[in-house]
Every structure is written in structure tokens, then in C-alpha cells.
Chain A
Amino acid sequence: GAVVSQHPSWVICKSGTSVKIECRSLDFQATTMFWYRQFPKQSLMLMATSNEGSKATYEQGVEKDKFLINHASLTLSTLTVTSAHPEDSSFYICSAREPLSVNEQFFGPGTRLTVL
């Protein structure tokens, strides 16, 4: 299957700082990428849908000014958590969809964010 990478795999930061997480599709072009957040022992919560070259579509209750998403190319989407606080500590996972595979999502390995 297609490969999606994320960087960094884990990050610890101080409260008030911003953190950028990268999501890359390594062997295919992804016109659509998704960003999820997952708390311990809970399911995936979709935060936003990112389409290359256009603004991301955020789910209800997700602050777009706090979680900045940029999908500048067909292989890269970034999520920036601005002014992070301890309650933002979570596992952030991206996924990408191949243009010709409308039902398959390939997930990245996730980024564990801890805000002190």
C-alpha cells in the first residue's frame, strides 16, 4: 500500500509555543489529506480535511486559528498547533487518499504531542 510519513514522531514543548507537524505522501500524490486527533483509548476524531491548493475544511468545534493547516503541494500537508496548551496534548494522525482510490485512506504513523 501507499506510504504516508509524519514528522516529528513525538514532540515535547512548553505551553504557549507553536508546533508544526508535517505529513507527507511518499509514493503517490494526495489531493486530499485528513488530520485526526486521538486521545488515549479513544477513537479518531477528524479535525479537518485538507485539499491541495485550497483552504482546509474544519470540523465543528475545531478552532481554525489554533490549528493551522497548509496543503501547499500534492505530497505535503502541515498542521501547526499555535500557542499550545497542556489540553492540546494528544496523538495527531494524518491520512492521505490517492486520487483514484476514493475509499482508501493511508494513515501516517502519528505524532505524539506533549505540552508542558
Chain B
Amino acid sequence: QKEVEQDPGPLSVPEGAIVSLNCTYSNSAFQYFMWYRQYSRKGPELLMYTYSSGNKEDGRFTAQVDKSSKYISLFIRDSQPSDSATYLCAMIGTNAGKSTFGDGTTLTVKP
């Protein structure tokens, strides 16, 4: 069983929709939770990171962490075609530790 599970999709939504992306994990030692966006043939770009449980909002993006359920989410409001990409969740257990990545969810936002 993988430490981090992420539905690969693909996920297709109309422009303006609210998108929900999720990851579950099994390692209770994970403390830092990140979301990356990766466009085709490009390196990943950090979108948001959260420490421990709670919510964090940045513009149209909201990251949620529920450590009791070992479940994290990324919400995208008013989705745009430019949001079409693969979204990767990642987690770190301790300071300066290695990141463990999910397999990524491919999102397409149709105009």
C-alpha cells in the first residue's frame, strides 16, 4: 500500500466550476502538506503548503488538512482553463525530510 493515495483522474470540469482534489495518507508522522501544479513537460510548481491540521486560503485556492482522518484537499474556486494541469500532493514527516508525493490528478477545465 502506498503511503500517499491520490486519484489520478482524469477530472474534467466546465469553466467556473469548483474543483475538489484530494489525497489520503497512512503515515501519521506527516506534518507538512503541500500541493504542486505541474503543466505538461514542465517541473512542478508549489501552490500551497500547510502545517498540521487546518485551512489555508490563497486567492482562488484553499488547502485543507484533516490529520484525524489523514485526508487533505485542495479546492479551486472559479476554475479557469489555465488551471488545466496535473496536481500533486506531497507530504513531509520531519524538518528537512524527504517529500512523499501522490501520483497526481490530471485536471482539465473546459471553456
Contact = CB atoms under 8 A, between A and B. Distances in A.
Contacts of A103: 32, 34, 49, 51, 92, 95
B44 A93 contact: yes
B62 interface: no
What is the size category of the interface that chain A forms with chain B? 20 to 34
Interface residues of B, number: 24
Contacts of B51: 103
B59 interface: no
Interface of B: 8, 32, 34, 36, 41-46, 49, 51, 88, 90, 92, 95-96, 98-99, 101-104, 106
Interface of A: 1, 4, 6, 32, 34, 41-44, 46, 49, 91, 93, 95, 97, 102-110, 112
